[in-house]
Amino acid sequence: MPKTAKQSSAESYSEELQLLPADSEDSQLTTLLKAYLTQAEIEQVWEAYRFSDNAHKGQIRRSGEPYITHPVAVACILAQLHLDVPTLLAALLHDVVEDSDISADEISDRFGKQVADLVEGLTKLDKIELQTAVQAQAENVRKMLLAMSQDVRVILVKLADRLHNMQTLEIMKPAKQRRISQETLDIYAPIANRLGLNVIYQELEDLSFKYIYPNRYHVIAKAIKTARGNRKEVISKILESIKSKLADADIEATVEGREKHLFSVYKKMTNKGLKLSQVGDIYGFRVLVKDLPTCYLTLGSLHSLYKPIPGKFKDYIAISKLNGYQSLHTTLFGPFGTPIEVQIRSLSMHNIAQAGVAAHWLYKTTDAHLTRLQQQTHQWLQRLVEIQTESDDSHEFLEHFKVDLFPDEVYVFTPKGNILALPKGSTAVDFAYAVHTDVGNCCVAVKINHELAPLRTEMQNGDHVEIITSALAKPNPAWLNYVVTAKARSHLRHYLKSIKVTESTHLGERMLNTALRALHVEPGQINDSQWHKVMRDYGAKEKDEILADIGLGKRVSLMVAHQLIASTHEHENGAPNTHKTFDKITISGSEGMAVQFAPCCRPIPGDPILGFINKDKGLVIHTHDCVAIGKFKLDPDKWLDVEWDAGDKRLFRVDLRIIVVNERGMLAKLAAGISDAGSNIDNVSAEESDGSQYSVINFTVQVHDRVHLAELIRNLRKIPEVVRINRLKGKYREQKI
C-alpha cells in the first residue's frame, strides 16, 4: 500500500528524533510526548521546536548551552504533567517574540491565536522602563495575573519556566541568585502551592532555600541524610507493620515512605524554635487506597496498630484545602516512641495533590471535586484581578497579592452552614468581606458561635460566624490595623481613598470660598473661563482635583483664589486688592477624614480652636493653647481661623486624670458618676500603684462640649474619695501635627 504524505511526514519526524543524542533534552521530550500524545500532535510540537530553534539560532545561555535547551526543558516539565498541545507549543515559543524579530502575529498565523495569546501573556516587561525593582516586579505580576485570569495555562508555563531557571541558577552571581530566589519564594512558590502543583512548589522552595541560605541548606541536607541512615531499620519495620496490618484488614493499598522537603523542615525549626533533632516527623508515610470510604477504614486500622497523638489529626477530605488538596493526616506513636506522620488518600486525591489544577489535563475525568477546584481557582483569579484594578500603587498591589497567597487556612461556617476558607489570623471583618463587599462595608457587629464578639476577633477552625449589618454603617479606618485578607484590605483602602477625596473636595471648596471673600470676591463671580485657565496652569483635568488638593493641604487656598481673580483685578484696578479679612470656617465635627482633631489636645466645642492644613491628613484642629503650636515652626499660610458650629450635638473624646483614695469599689463609683452625667466611657486605665493610699485612674470619656464636661467634672467631685481631677492635654505632645 502506498504511503500517504502524512505517514511519510510522521516517519521523517521519527527518523529525525532518532538521530538526536540519547541523553539530550529533545530525546527526553520525545519519550514524554509519546506517553500521551498522538503522532499528529507530536508533529505539531516538533514543528514549534524547529521554529523556536531557528528563532534562537546563535543565542546561548550563560552556561554556554544553546538557548533552545531552555524552552525544551520547560516543555519537558509540562509534558510530565501531560498538558495539552497548545501549552507545549507556548512553552517552546515563550521567548521567541522577546528575543527575536518574530511578531505575535506571525506566531498566530503559524500556530493559531490560542498559542499566540499564551505567548503574549508570557512576554516579559524588560523593554518597559520602570522606576524601581518593586515596580518592575509588580507590573510583571500584574500582566501575568491578567493573562492567568483569561487562561490558567499561562501560569503553568510561567512556573515551569521559573523552575528550570532555578535549576540552572548556579551560573549567576550570588547577589542575583538571592534576588531571583527571594522573588521565587515570595511569589512563584506560593502560586504553585495555591494551584495545587505540589511537586513544582516543593522544588521551588528547596531551590530558593539553597541560594538564600546556602549554609543552612547544606547543614540540614547533610543532617537529614545522616538521620535517614540511622533510622533505616526503624523505618523499614514501621513500613512492614503498616503493610501487614492493612493486608489483615483486606485493604488494598500502596504504602510508601515520604521524606519532608528541606525548606519544610527549616520552616518547622524556625517557627517552633526547634533543633533538627527535635523535628520528629522528618520522615513520614503515605498510604494510597482505591476510594474515599477506604480512606477512613485505613485510618481506623492504623489507629488500632499505633496510638494516635491527640490533636494531631486533620481531615482534609471533609474540608479540602483551597487548592483542592484532600487527604487524611494523622500522627501516631510508633515503636520506640518515634512519632509517625501518615497521609491517607485515594488515587484520584493523590493525582490532584501532585498536579493540582493541571490534573484537568492530566486526567480526563468528570470528577466533581476537580470541577469544583477549577471553579475555586477561577474565582481566586477573578478576585485578584478585582484587587489589582483597585490598587493604583504597585507596591500596594504586590502587598495585597502576597497576602492572598497565605498557605495556612482556617475553616469557618456561615449561618447557612457553608464552609468558608480564610487565611490564618483572619478577623470577623475579613469574613464579612469574604462573604460580599457590601456585607463588609456595612458590618457593625458579629456573632461567633451565637455570641456577640468584637469585629477584630480572629477566626478559629469550626467557628460559626454571623455578621450583623446596618444600611447606614460605613467602613472604619481602624479596621486596616487588623484585617489580613487582600480583598478586605484593598476594598477598605479603595473606599477610604474615595471618601477622603470627596470630603477633601468639599473642605477645599469651603476654604477657597473663604479666601475669595477675603479678597472681596463672591464665589459665584468666578466664571468657567477663569476656572479653565487655572486648570490649564495646574495641569488638572477638572475643578474637583484642585479643590481636593486645597482640602488636603497640597495647594494654598489664597494662592488659588489670587489666580482665579487675577484677570478681574487687572481689568478693574490694574492690581489685585491685597487687603483681606478671612471669614471663619465652621467646624461641625462630622466632616470625617478631611477634618481631624489633634490627639495632642483633643479639642471639644467651646474650646478656642485653630486649623492647620497638613498635606497628609487634611485639616487638623488644635486648641489655641496646644503645646504643639508653639513647639513646631509651621507655615503661617497653612493656619486657618475656625469656629464651632453651635448646633452640633456630636460626642467628642476628652482625657481625664483622676486621683482617688484607694478603696474597694472605687472604679464602680466613678463609672456610675460618669454615666449619671450622660457621658460614655471610651477607655479606662490605672497607673501602677506607688504603695500610697492614693491611686491614679485615667479615663477617656465622651462629651458634647465644655458645658457638658464641666457638668461631668462637678458630678465626679461629689464623690468623697475623689481628690483631684485634671483634663489631660499634651498626652501625645511628641506626635507631629
C-alpha cell at 725: 481631677
Of the ranges 24-28, 330-334, 343-347, which is most confident?
A: 343-347
Residues 663-691 have pLDDT tens digits of 888 899 999 999 999 999 988 988 877 77
Distance CA 657, CA 712 (A): 13
- Rounded average pLDDT over 2-31: 45
Mean pLDDT of the chain: 79
pLDDT, position 383: 60
Grid coordinates given for 190: 506560593
pLDDT of 107:
92
Contact at 8 Å (CB) between 159 and 191? yes
SS3 category, 487:
helix
Q: How far apart are CA 725 and CA 356, in angstroms?
A: 66
Contacts of 696 (CB under 8 A, 6+ apart): 657, 658, 659, 686, 687
138-152, 174-188, 552-566, 685-699: range with lowest mean pLDDT: 138-152
Q: DSSP label at 188?
A: I
Give CA–CA dist 430/421, Å, rounded. 11
| pLDDT over 70, % of the chain | 77
Q: What angle do CA 379, 382, 384 make, to 5 degrees?
A: 110
Q: What angle do CA 461, 189, 274 make, to 5 degrees?
A: 60
β-strands 585-587, 639-644: how paired?
parallel
Q: What is the mean pLDDT of residues 469-478?
A: 86
Mean pLDDT value of segment 166-189: 90
348 in Cβ contact with 367 (< 8 Å): yes
For residue 2, the one-letter residue type is P
pLDDT at 10 over 50: no
pLDDT of residue 590: 55
pLDDT tens digits along 397-450:
666 566 555 556 788 888 888 878 788 889 999 999 989 889 999 999 999 998
Residue 578 in this model has a pLDDT that exceeds 50? no
Instruction: Please give the backbone phi and psi of residue 657, each rounded to the nearest 5 degrees, phi first.
Output: -115, 115
Q: Which residues pair with 620 in a beta bridge?
A: 596, 612
Give the pLDDT score at 617.
66
Residue matched to cell numbers 539553597: 210
Check residue 280 and give its pLDDT.
Answer: 60
Is-contact 118 154, C-beta < 8 A? yes
Helix/strand number for the chain, H first, E second: 30, 19
The pLDDT, as a whole number, for residue 2 is: 39
Task: Return the minimum-mean-pLDDT range out of 141-155, 231-245, 306-320, 444-458.
Answer: 141-155
Q: Is the pTM of this model over 0.75?
A: no
Query: What is the distance between the alpha carbons of residues 493 and 127, in angstroms, rounded to a whole number?
Result: 31
Report the candidate in 41, 51, 171, 170 with the shortest Cα–Cα distance to residue 106: 51
Handedness of CA 68, 69, 75, 79 (dihedral sign): positive
Which one, of 161, 178, 163, lies nearest residue 122 by Cα? 161
Is the pLDDT score of 138 beyond 70? Answer: no
Q: Are 583 and 517 in contact (CB under 8 A)?
A: yes
CA distance 659 to 723: 5
277: which 3 cell numbers?
533533632
Task: Determine the pLDDT at residue 737.
Answer: 33
Which amino acid does the sequence have at 643? E
- Write down the pLDDT at residue 333: 85
pLDDT at 364: 46
pLDDT(134) > 80: no
Q: State the average pLDDT over residues 557-573.
A: 64
Q: What is the tens place of the pLDDT at every residue in 33-74?
A: 888 888 899 999 999 999 999 999 889 988 888 999 999 999
For residue 736, the model assigns a pLDDT of 34
**What domains are there in the chain, each with its CATH number?**
5-167 (1.10.3210.10), 217-365 (3.30.460.10), 408-484 (3.10.20.30), 493-583 (no CATH), 652-727 (3.30.70.260)
Residue 451 parent element (H or E): strand 451-453
Residue 1 has pLDDT above 50, yes or no: no
pLDDT for res 577: 46
**Lookup: cell for 257:** 515512605
Lowest mean pLDDT among 170-184, 388-402, 692-706: 388-402
Q: In angstroms, what is the C-alpha Rg of the chain? A: 34
Scanning 94-231, the segments in alpha helix (DSSP H) are 96-99, 104-111, 113-122, 133-150, 153-167, 174-183, 189-194, 198-212, 214-230
- Do 92 and 155 contact (CB within 8 A), yes or no? no
User: 211-214 — which CB contacts under 8 Å span 24+ positions?
Assistant: 211/169, 211/174, 211/177, 211/178, 211/180, 211/181, 212/178, 212/181, 212/182, 212/185, 213/266
pLDDT one-digit tens code per residue, 101-123: 888 889 999 999 989 988 887 77
CA–CA dist 610, 68 (Å, integer): 70
Of residues 196, 90, 206, the one with CA closest to residue 147: 90
**pLDDT tens digit string along 240-268?**
999 999 999 999 999 988 777 888 888 88
pLDDT surpasses 60 at 11: no
Q: Which residue has the cell 477610604?
A: 496
Residue type for 723, please? V
Q: Sort 193 into a burial class: Cβ within 10 Å, 0-12 / 13-18 / 19+.
A: buried
pLDDT of residue 147: 61
Active site residues: 98-99
Q: How confident is the model at residue 297 (pLDDT cuts 50, 70, 90)?
A: very high
Segment 622-647 shows an average pLDDT of 71
Quote the strand ranges of 624-693, DSSP E.
639-644, 652-661, 680-686
| pLDDT (0 to 100) of residue 572 | 47
Q: Quick check: 181 pLDDT over 60? A: yes
Look at the chain and count its residues.
737
